[in-house]
Amino acid sequence: MTVENEAAEFFRSIQDSICAGLEEEDGTARFRTDAWERPGGGGGLTRVLVDGTVFEKAGVNTSTVHGDLQPEFAAHLPGDGLTFFAAGVSLVLHPKSPMVPTVHANFRCIRRGAALWFGGGADLTPYYPQREDAVHFHRVWKERCDRHDRDFYNRFKKWCDEYFYLPHRREARGVGGIFFDHLMRDPVRDLAFVRDLGEGFLPAYRPIVQRRRGDPFGERERQFQLLRRGRYVEFNLLHDRGTTFGLKTDGRVESILMSLPPLVRWEYDAQFAPGTPEAALGDWLKPQDWLGEARDQAVKT
């Protein structure tokens, strides 16, 4: 079996395990499953859970597609020719409670001609952040990265901070995580790395849900959550590479846009009183050294 087919098989299996874990965490709702075919080659499996006890909307997608790229889009990708193969798993979870962060993760394998590479990552978007949650999320990804390369976490954490950034708002989308693309070392080693990351998603996120799902909130917090979700929509439609790739390769639109929240609001020139949690959120939306890596490095040097 080729590496890319092994990757596609893993993405389908991790979709099953993540969905099972999320259903267990939610306790009431179940995922709806839609199989789809792509004109030109391949298809995917979209699973969406709505109106659960914990999750207002949760989407976990897999796709395995192949065919020919548009020449103008191919020019921006590694490799040669127009023939491509792409497999991946992508998820976005929008909890009901504003005290529980939204989370995103995706992992992918792409071949264009002779070039094969992996990409992906995970990032956390809280509305009312708690430091222990951000530290836990980053610690899990650092531990997973360190198993494969001691430089990966610092590199991919920095890349995440730079990628999940809204330049027109001058703020990060959340408290970051890891992000990488065009990883082209040995394909077998890279698949092992991506496999380890995929299996790390539930350990990175579920403990945060369990800590925050019972925290009290009211209408003020709910309205702030809906307002902040607007920033999430802005990023996904303007800057997200996965959205662009899916649309440029004739993917299923409903699956590509499943990442969008079910309810959202935009308010003109929203202002929040100094000293409130809402006003303080801006202090979190900038690159931060959650694990003290910079201090540790300074001591070593």
Query: Which residues does the annotation mark as catalytic?
Result: 104
- Hey, is 57 helix, strand or coil? strand
Count, residues in the chain: 301
What's the alpha-carbon Rg for the chain, to the nearest Å? 19
DSSP states along 75-110: TTSSSSSSEEEEEEEEEEEEESSTTSPEEEEEEEEE
Please give the structure tokens belonging to residue 44. Answer: 């995917």
